[in-house]
Structure 1
Amino acid sequence: MKTSIGLTLAATLLASTALAQDKQVTIASWGGSYQEAQSKALFQPAAEATGIAVKEETYGGMSDVRLQVSSGAVTLDIVASGSGSAARAGAEGLLEPLDYDVIDVSSFYPTLKSEFCVGGDVFSTVYAWNTDTYTDAAPQSWADFWDVETFPGSRAYRGKVAGALEPALMADGVAPEDVYSVLDSEDGIERAINKIRELKPNIAVFWSSGAQHAQLMKDGEVDMTTGWNGRFDNAAKDGAKVAYSFNQALLDYDCFAIPKGAPNRDTAMEFLAEISKAEYQDDLPKYITYGPTNKAAYDTGVISAEVAAGLPSSPENAALQLPISLEWYAKWETIADEMYQEMLTE
């Protein structure tokens, strides 16, 4: 009898192991130092812990998801996304709603999840400068970024509307807490675009990716640029003469979503539950200085006080910043980007 029970138990274990080995997910992110950090901190350790095989790809954003969903040929199970892009894609019907009975977000910052996307990291859109160019005084506000007399030199700026309009309004004297109220009309959007138009003669490059704006600073091609804090920190490690400030930065987050019709939807949900745990998120700052969305990651002892001081989601740094409004992006981004692209082609 014992032998029979033992054989049955062994067979069950073998079957469950085989089942785990059959589970797989395809994850798409944006490449570069960002995806490398995700892979080392989240994807590879979670794959080892769960037995879920992970295939990594890079992609061009939600436009790729839209193409797959509309053609009925979805190959991606999980995609990394900006929070605003995910909000719009969810509203468009491109994403699966997430099951928060499976994904535990009880210790997350409350704003860092949505129906269709669960936060993976917190980052900031900052202004950065070449420390060789500005040796005496450095810019400390968006008004300084626009001040080409006090801070002469070339600029780079984002070529998409996301994260482009808010700095312009703050440079134009709008208080951070009033930015989205002003932007809640085409007139307000035009005001921000006009402010960028004013700076345009000094903008040498309108960048399109994090890798690009980091490279611009590494090469010394521009004296100032907007961009994402973690990319600049990694560029500095590689020898770039770059510094930045969190003052008036835009506090945002990246998240993970599941495309509608993903071939391994349930496994993807299980994998998202795993990488949302504090014991994975506390490793991310080892590779890139983006903050965890899971507050418990600050309590594991892995993130030192010194490291926390450089993370966007630390309380001290978060207090200096303007949180991105997903509601505004869901309502206005399509219209605003059309207006913005028109300005860029003038």
Structure 2
Amino acid sequence: MTRMRNKMLGMLTVMVAAALPLSATAAEEMTFASWGGAYQDGIRAAWMKPFTQETGIQITEDTNPVIARIKAMVDTHQVQWDVVTAGGASLMQGAQSGLFEKITPAMVDESDVLPAARNDYGVPSEIFSTVIGYSTKAFPNGGPKTFADFWDVKKFPGKRTLPDKPDTVLEAALLADGVAPADIYKTLDTKAGMDRALNKIREIKPYVAMWWSSGAQPVQALGSGEVVMALGWNGRFQAGIDSGLPIAMSWSQSVAQVGYFMIVKGAPDKAQAIKFLNYIIRPEVQARFSKYVAYGPVTPKSIPLIDKSLQGRLPSTPDRLANAVFMNINWWAAHSLAAGEAYNTAMQ
């Protein structure tokens, strides 16, 4: 009798387990790594938490997904991250090193994504821009509008701050020197063109008080009065404005960049990662991010879904993109090392 009862209990256990949903028997999960701060806070609030609520897939977070760490994981076959984030230059470096899974149309439907933002090895997540931020105390009647104005120290006197890396600065320098937006990378492809950009940077160097390495630094320098204008990221400047600092931005010219989410080669939870990437590019989901960070959606269908009071903060509205140069990530992947060395020499 006891043997029969145990057999019946065993069969009942199997039947109950089979009837339970997958989430109740083996919880799905994935690991996401980004750069912390307000950016990752925004991703968590706008995308990760709602994704978990909708799918039941739990997300563990990490930070600092630099290429060297990703490469070490892939090379040793000890991949701990599923989805990581980066700008276009890092995306291309990682892709060329075989660190990211190729994203096919069968995996992720990107039909609503801006064609200029698409890439075979990453799903576009947001658009942000390098713009001019300036002190409204130094320029109460309106500050510099164009990159040529940024370089005009007679019309707009005072100290500036520039990034300590060349991406977007070379583009701004050539725009300031009169190169047409469509000719920026054609110009940089020549030695004469690169020299032209570097000489323009040397021209402004006596007025550069600081070469910033962290996105918060130009905002702090503007707020303290250490500088009167800066090249920096629109989201950082907007955060300073929101906190009450005497800062304004110019949108007459900008260098737009795309953020990307990538699947690490050999990701242990690839299926869940694919579900997450499909989720974040749904237009209604894309629209949520602008509530937390002043970066724009990569799906034009998202713009009408965003409150009009927030649309004026975003870099990817049609009128803003009309005045923007998209950073060419293929060019930067091929030239980043040489451009970085040349820029460091110009800074010194």
- Counterpart for residue 325 of structure 1: 328
Q: Deviation per CA, 1:282-305, whole angstroms, max 9, x where unpaired?
A: 111111111111222234x3x123
Q: 2:185 aligns with which of 175, 180, 183?
A: 180
Offset of residue 15 of structure 1: 4.3
Gaps of 5+ in 2: 1-11
- Counterpart for residue 157 of structure 1: 162
- Counterpart for residue 312 of structure 1: 315
Q: 2:232 aligns with which of 203, 227, 230?
A: 227
Q: 2:51 aligns with which of 23, 32, 46?
A: 46
Q: 2:107 aligns with which of 57, 77, 102?
A: 102
SS in structure 2 at match of 1:74: coil
Contact 2:136 2:142 in 1 (8 A): no
Contact 2:65 2:85 in 1 (8 A): no
Gaps of 5+ in 1: 1-5
SS in structure 1 at match of 2:134: strand
**What CA distance in whole angstroms lies between the structure 2 residues aligned with 1:8 and 1:279?**
41
- The one-letter code matched in structure 2 to 1:282 is A
RMSD (CA atoms): 2.1
Offset of residue 228 of structure 1: 1.0
Q: Deviation per CA, 1:207-250, whole angstroms, max 9, x where unpaired?
A: 12223333333433321111111111111111111111122201
Alignment identity in percent? Answer: 36
**What CA distance in whole angstroms lies between the structure 2 residues aligned with 1:15 and 1:137?**
61
The verdict on how the C-alpha distance between 1:213 and 1:176 changes in structure 2, with shifts beyond 3 A counting, is: same
- The one-letter code matched in structure 2 to 1:320 is N
The verdict on how the C-alpha distance between 1:7 and 1:286 changes in structure 2, with shifts beyond 3 A counting, is: same
Deviates more, 1:150-159 or 1:7-16: 7-16
Structure showing greater Rg? 2
The verdict on how the C-alpha distance between 1:276 and 1:13 changes in structure 2, with shifts beyond 3 A counting, is: farther
**What CA distance in whole angstroms lies between the structure 1 residues aligned with 2:37 and 2:87?**
16
**What CA distance in whole angstroms lies between the structure 2 residues aligned with 1:230 and 1:320?**
17
Q: Deviation per CA, 1:103-158, whole angstroms, max 9, x where unpaired?
A: 22111111222110110001111011011111123101111111122211111111
- Counterpart for residue 199 of structure 2: 194
Offset of residue 308 of structure 1: 2.2
Q: 2:24 aligns with which of 18, 21, 26?
A: 18
Does residue 1:205 correspond to 2:210, yes or no?
yes
SS in structure 2 at match of 1:269: helix
Contact 2:123 2:260 in 1 (8 A): yes
SS in structure 2 at match of 1:250: strand
Offset of residue 20 of structure 1: 6.0
SS in structure 2 at match of 1:282: helix
- Counterpart for residue 131 of structure 2: 126
- The one-letter code matched in structure 1 to 2:334 is K
SS in structure 1 at match of 2:142: coil
Does residue 1:68 correspond to 2:100, yes or no?
no
Does residue 1:141 correspond to 2:146, yes or no?
yes
Tell me how many residue pairs correspond in the alignment: 337
The verdict on how the C-alpha distance between 1:203 and 1:63 changes in structure 2, with shifts beyond 3 A counting, is: farther
**What CA distance in whole angstroms lies between the structure 2 residues aligned with 1:220 and 1:171?**
24
Contact 1:183 1:189 in 2 (8 A): yes
SS in structure 1 at match of 2:165: coil
Contact 1:20 1:51 in 2 (8 A): no
